[in-house]
Amino acid sequence: MKVNHDTITNMETIFTSKKKFHKNRAKLPFEEKIRIVIKLQQLANEISKRKKHQHTTLPVWKIG
Partner 1 sequence: MEKALIVINDLKENGLIKDYAIGGGIAVIFYIEPILTYDLDIFFIPAGDSDGLLVLSSLYDYLKKQGYTPEKEHILIEGIPVQFLPVYNDLIEEAVEKAGYTSYKDTKIKVVKAEYLIAIMLQTYRPKDRERVIKFLDESDFDTEELERILLKFNLKDKFEKLMRFYNEG
Between 8 and 36, CB nearer to partner 1: 36
Cβ neighbours of residue 28 closer than 8 Å, sequence gap 6 or more:
36
Instruction: Name the E strands within 1-64.
Output: none
Q: What does the alpha-carbon distance between residue 58 and residue 38 come to, in Å, rounded to a whole number?
A: 11
CB of 61 to partner 1, least distance (A): 5
Q: Are 26 and 18 in contact (CB under 8 A)?
A: no
Q: Which of residues 5-64 bind partner 1 (CB under 8 A)?
A: 19, 22-23, 25-26, 28, 30-31, 33-34, 36-37, 40-41, 44, 58-59, 61-64
Q: Which residues bind partner 1 (CB under 8 A)?
A: 19, 22-23, 25-26, 28, 30-31, 33-34, 36-37, 40-41, 44, 58-59, 61-64
